[in-house]
Structure 1
């Protein structure tokens, strides 16, 4: 077999793998969107014989789901603000200590990523029961901070690693103090990575189920918890309508970020070396 034939076969294999992966990812989304507009009053086989907006109307008129969505939105926003501040502050501190201690602290902060959410949720439930913490929203914030701070910290560390120490020294030599050098030089250069960490924190907070399931109650619950509860009690295509709504919300968020900041700037790709 000639080298050219091997190259053609390899190219075909890579193309087929990419196409198969794309189909695997896109088909469930298309199916969900289509079923959300099913005109039938029951969950029937795909494809639907006719289209209607009845399930979307039912979703928008479902007070139980909208209560969960409002809680998720407030919770994710609050969690994102706190997690971003904590992650950025911790990243600045970690970046200025010795390498051995830096690795130890980084591992400690990132450890929630390797723990199942069920373990974190159950452990927090037991802890809050012992401490007598009764507010479900306070419990949810604490739980979501544990699972989101690792993302904000990691992204902030990536951004700070791209800022050369020479830039800080230059700012100090020009008369700036440590606080001014931090807020006018270092953090502005790392803001793209910090913003990316905030986006990850918001997305994971909105999507979290396992931790929220342990820390919610019948009055304060998130949208994922409400969807699971609805799926167990009355499984219908309102779930598909909710999924379409969340997908639309995500697309709107990405468009706004692209128009206001630019996705490449938000994600961050520059390395600021002197």
Structure 2
């Protein structure tokens, strides 16, 4: 065996070992915090002490169930995230379809402006939306939150929908028109079904972004209307305890159960779609 072959195999082995090490570290970095949160959520101590805990109980889950402050924040987050995602999904999908077919001067600038919330810090967006709402005389916390969350969720739907439209040939839509379909019907029965993967992915990203947002929500809440992340942040500053760990575990379990339920009832492929080339 030549020295070149031995060196090549040695190099491949070193690369494979380094690759596996990086993957292992990434998985550990992602999973260990979740494991720690799950274990601490059952800690019986009334303070955050050394890990692992020596006694276990459900006191922090009972604390969450009895705390109306968290409940109010949860309800507000669900309402805001749902409304913002629905509006953003419709508006973002239409914007993506319109820009993908249009050809005019300034198209790139318009697209960049619509996607700018992806790169502008949320603190800046929140402050700007607060000033904008004040100028319009909007003082209702729920209305301001929905406006701000539409702003930050819209780009996700638009971007993922635009990406999915790249793989859809314009001839499909044109063929439907040539066969007598009206434009809105061709859009609803041809373009949207083919682009549903991007639309659904954008809606999911948008909902998660809205539900998890702190930067924008901090500026738009009021004394009676606040989201769950804002409530958690306020409690962390006032009285840090492990109720937050219990809350995290509840949402992890709820997410897993939702995915399993969707897969059992309809199948994730049927809901999300397999893309243009997997149909």
TM bin (shorter chain): over 0.9
In structure 1, distance between residues paired with 2:40 and 2:136: 46
Q: Give the secondary-structure state (helix, strand or coil) at the position aligned to 1:162.
A: coil
Question: Number of matched residues?
Answer: 273
Q: Give the secondary-structure state (helix, strand or coil) at the position aligned to 1:47.
A: coil
Q: Scaled by the length of structure 1, what TM-score is found?
A: 0.94
Structure-1 residue corresponding to 2:215:
210
Q: Give the secondary-structure state (helix, strand or coil) at the position aligned to 2:143.
A: helix
In structure 2, distance between residues paired with 1:44 and 1:93: 56
> Aligned-pair distance for 1:163?
1.4
> Aligned-pair distance for 1:243?
1.2
In structure 1, distance between residues paired with 2:168 and 2:264: 26
Question: Comparing 174-183 with 247-256, which one deviates more in the overlay?
Answer: 247-256
1:92 aligns with 2:75: no
Aligned Cα root-mean-square deviation (Å): 1.7
> Per-residue CA shift, 1:140-165, capped at 9, x if unaligned?
00100110000010111122222111
Contact 2:196 2:272 in 1 (8 A): no
> Aligned-pair distance for 1:181?
0.9
Q: Scaled by the length of structure 2, what TM-score is found?
A: 0.93
Contact 2:47 2:241 in 1 (8 A): yes
> Per-residue CA shift, 1:97-122, capped at 9, x if unaligned?
12764422221111011111111111
1:71 aligns with 2:76: yes
> Aligned-pair distance for 1:262?
3.5
Determine which of 100, 106, 113 is the counterpart of 1:108: 113
Q: Give the secondary-structure state (helix, strand or coil) at the position aligned to 1:2.
A: helix
Unpaired segments ≥5 residues, structure 2? 1-5
Unpaired segments ≥5 residues, structure 1? none
Structure-1 residue corresponding to 2:253:
248
> Per-residue CA shift, 1:157-204, capped at 9, x if unaligned?
122222111111111111112111111111111112111111111111
Q: Give the secondary-structure state (helix, strand or coil) at the position aligned to 1:219.
A: coil
Q: Give the secondary-structure state (helix, strand or coil) at the position aligned to 2:234.
A: helix
Q: Give the secondary-structure state (helix, strand or coil) at the position aligned to 1:176.
A: coil
In structure 2, distance between residues paired with 1:7 and 1:95: 44
Contact 1:164 1:272 in 2 (8 A): no
1:238 aligns with 2:238: no
In structure 1, distance between residues paired with 2:19 and 2:112: 36
Map of 1:113-124 to 2, 5 A cutoff?
Answer: 113-124=118-129
Map of 1:104-183 to 2, 5 A cutoff?
Answer: 104-183=109-188
In structure 1, distance between residues paired with 2:260 and 2:79: 21
